[in-house]
Copies of this chain bind each other. A is one copy, B any other.
Amino acid sequence: MKDILITGGNGFLGQRLARELLRRSEAGWKTGHKPPDRIVLIDVARPQTGMADPRVRFAIGDAADPQFVRETLSNNTDGIFHLAAVVSSAAEANFDLGMRVNLDGTRTLLEACRRLPRPPRLVFASSLAVFGPPLPEVVTDATTPTPQSSYGAQKLIGELLVADFTRKRFVDGRVVRLPTVSIRPGKPNAAASSFASSILREPLNGQETVCPVEPDTALWLISPRFAVDCLLHAFDLPSQKIDARRPINLPGFTVTVGEMIAALERTAGAAALKRIRWQPDPRVGAIVGTWPARFETARAESLGFPRDERGFDGNIADYLNEEGIELS
């Protein structure tokens, strides 16, 4: 028996990842690890639309509770995707909650891994939020992270824990720093970057939305599809190819909010733009404004991580396709 665990497994990225893991297993997943016999989705709440697959199990509980985590991991635990997090605006507003879930939760998971007979392979989803001013024009693999949000600081501490637990051979860890993921389906969340999905998603769904930043705000983006591909690529990489102590800045692309809106207009017409109300929110700007928007990701590319060459129109096309939306 081989289990793959996904923390934050009921979140949108966890769900997509689980579906893709099942799909690749059926297709005869060749690269790297053997396909899992079971996928365990760990989260605080059961999803509203459960995944009706006999290979999927749910473990509902608090990922920062050592006993729950120990009971959820087993000798069958072969791989872990650690996605669970209190996102940026929430961690800034509730410092203690962010520390508990983002720092203690990661440490608890690593401690549980350490107690298994074989060190499981673990992919830690970090974030571009580890970076902050002073920033160079273009962030490279050599840029030192200086987080300017509690979320970024907690993610960076998590990176260091994964690195040291990997060095001690308690776990086979690898760390990827995700760009802002857009277009996320579903509802807005407590990420400062939530608008990067909602200013597209809501108008495409015929709903009103608020854009809390200026049109010239630049973002470093990745589509959900490429985010999942990158997480799986990180999992598949042979241990000896990856220096787990050096987190990997994932490929993405730079786009301004104005360019995103222009792509929306190209796809959905001028009417869609009228559904966006522009109302700057200094709390959002104070976090998003510290994030870099331009990267050079040579190391990720040399390790074979896929790069999306389509530009933001591709993200919109993916969203419409995946959600089954047909624009009239």
A residues near B, CB below 8 A?
Answer: 95, 132, 134, 142-148, 150, 153, 156-157, 160-161, 163-164, 167-168, 245-246
Contact = CB atoms under 8 A, between A and B. Distances in A.
A142 B143 CA distance: 8
B168 A147 contact: no
Contact of A142 (B132, B144, B157, B164): B144
A interface SS class: loop
A283 to B, nearest CB: 14
How many copies of this chain sit in the oligomeric assembly? 2
Contacts of A134: 246
A157 B154 CA distance: 9
Contacts of A156: 160
Contacts of A161: 153, 157
Contact of A160 (B95, B153, B163): B153
A161 B147 CA distance: 11
Nearest 6 A/B pairs, CB to CB: A153-B164, A144-B144, A157-B157, A153-B160, A146-B245, A157-B160
A273 to B, nearest CB: 37
Contacts of A160: 147, 153, 156-157, 160
Contacts of A132: 245
